[in-house]
Structure 1
């Protein structure tokens, strides 16, 4: 399973959706999750770069797991997600900073079709507030943007979460340029 995480971690970095040491990836395995370790480069994931932790309760391994483990847990507990990608996509972050409400509406047809709208949620990194707000948003959406921080995308498999991540970034990029051209 870490091999799939490595594949998509490299794709995230190669496509500029994260800087190497930021963002995280997880896969649900029953009542447990395999999640990237804190501080590890996503384009260099190996068997030592991931940790398996319980979804229902914190454990002593949390200290080496991603600082966003609490958010991943909340998402798994409150949605049907089996895979999560958290990226720091630049245009998504910019659009969250420019948004005048808690939703970004894509201007492109693919974004409208696949995403409908993109919730913008708030909360500090690795906090219960962020965990609750993100999980709530992902009950009805496939992806969300954390204000000034990055995206969370869910799927049944990592490929689906990756596609949602790229679609959010693509839609935010097009919206940014369209809004700029209108000024």
Structure 2
């Protein structure tokens, strides 16, 4: 399974959706999850870059697992997700900073169809607050943007979670350029 995590880690970095040492990826395996280790370079994942931890309770292995393990756990406990990708796409972060509300409405047909509105949630990285807010929002959405931080996307597999990540970034990029063009047209 670490091979799948490595594949999508490389794709995230190559497509500019995350910088090498930021973000994390997990796959649910029954009552356990495989998750990237803290500080792992997502474009250089090998079998030593992934750890297996219990979903229901923290353990001593959490010290080497991603600092966002608490968020991944909450998502798995409260949704049907079997895969989670946490990335830091630039336009999604920018749009979270510009958002006047706690939802971003995609302007493009693909975003409207596959994402509907994108929740903007709050909470510091690796906290109970973020875990609770992400899990709650992901009950009804496929992805969320954490204010000023990045995205959490879910799927039945890593490919689905990756597609949701790319859709969020695409919709946010289009929204950003649309708003910029609209302002320029007024001048």
Question: TM-score, normalised to structure 1's length?
Answer: 1.00
Q: Which residue number in structure 2 is paired with residue 138 of structure 1? A: 138
The alpha carbon displacement at 1:176 in A equals 0.3
How far apart are the structure 1 equivalents of 2:53 and 2:117?
Answer: 32
How far apart are the structure 2 equivalents of 1:70 and 1:180?
Answer: 37
Runs of 4+ in 1 over 2 A off after TM superposition: none
Q: Which residue number in structure 2 is paired with residue 126 of structure 1? A: 126
How far apart are the structure 2 equivalents of 1:133 and 1:33?
Answer: 20
1:36-57 deviations in Å (ceiling 9; x for gaps) = 0000100000000000000000
The alpha carbon displacement at 1:28 in A equals 0.2
Task: Write out aligned runs for 1:140-159 (5 A).
Answer: 140-159=140-159
Q: Which residue number in structure 1 is paired with residue 13 of structure 2? A: 13
Q: Which residue number in structure 1 is paired with residue 31 of structure 2? A: 31
How far apart are the structure 1 equivalents of 2:179 and 2:77?
Answer: 37
Q: Is 1:71 equivalent to 2:71 in the alignment?
A: yes
The alpha carbon displacement at 1:19 in A equals 0.1
Task: Provide structure 2 residue ranges, at least 5 long, that are not aligned to the other structure.
Answer: none
Q: Which residue number in structure 2 is paired with residue 104 of structure 1? A: 104
Aligned residue pair count: 183
1:1-59 deviations in Å (ceiling 9; x for gaps) = 00000000000000000000000000000000000000010000000000000000000
Work out which of the two has the higher radius of gyration on C-alpha atoms and give 1 or 2: 2
The alpha carbon displacement at 1:129 in A equals 0.2
How far apart are the structure 1 equivalents of 2:165 and 2:124?
Answer: 21
Q: Which residue number in structure 1 is paired with residue 86 of structure 2? A: 86
**Pairwise CA RMSD:** 0.3
Question: TM-score, normalised to structure 2's length?
Answer: 0.98
SS at match of 2:48: coil
Task: Provide structure 1 residue ranges, at least 5 long, that are not aligned to the other structure.
Answer: none
